[in-house]
Amino acid sequence: MTLTLVEQLLQSQNSPITLEVFGGQYPAHRLPQQRLADLQKEITCHGETGDIENTGVASAKLILESLIDEHGAPMIETIEPAELVSVHSPIAISSAVTAIMDANFTTEAGLSDAKND
């Protein structure tokens, strides 16, 4: 079956990538622009009000929606954000968010170059 041009345009070309977070390498996928913006806004809003607990949970939500399990499903389907923040330090959560944001805005070649530096 051949897809129409509109169907092709609206089909995600999101290939899994590997991210180094929490001391290990995990498969991940890049989030759609709108979902990434929504999650970033949630993190920022909680951060601006000084709500550390909900900032961490919102950050964990971004992480778990990005990381995928061995079946390609987002880890948020099996791990609650509160579970993640209960075992990882704020700096580990923040570092993972940075890695995910970088991966969402960097090309494959750029990610490869960054790993080699």
Does residue 33 form part of some domain?
Answer: yes
Per-residue pLDDT of the chain (117 residues; tens, 9 = 90+): 787 888 777 776 678 899 999 999 999 999 999 999 999 999 999 999 999 999 999 999 999 999 999 999 999 999 999 999 999 999 999 999 999 999 988 866 554 555 555
Does residue 27 form part of some domain?
Answer: yes
Does residue 66 form part of some domain?
Answer: yes
Please state the domain count of the chain: 1
Does residue 117 form part of some domain?
Answer: no
| CATH code, 42 | 3.30.2220
Does residue 6 form part of some domain?
Answer: no
Name the residue range of residue 99's domain.
16-111
Burial class (CB in 10 A: 0-12, 13-18, 19+), 79: middle
Q: pTM of the entire structure?
A: 0.82
Does residue 4 form part of some domain?
Answer: no
Does residue 101 form part of some domain?
Answer: yes
* Rounded (10°) CA dihedral 99, 66, 73, 53: 110
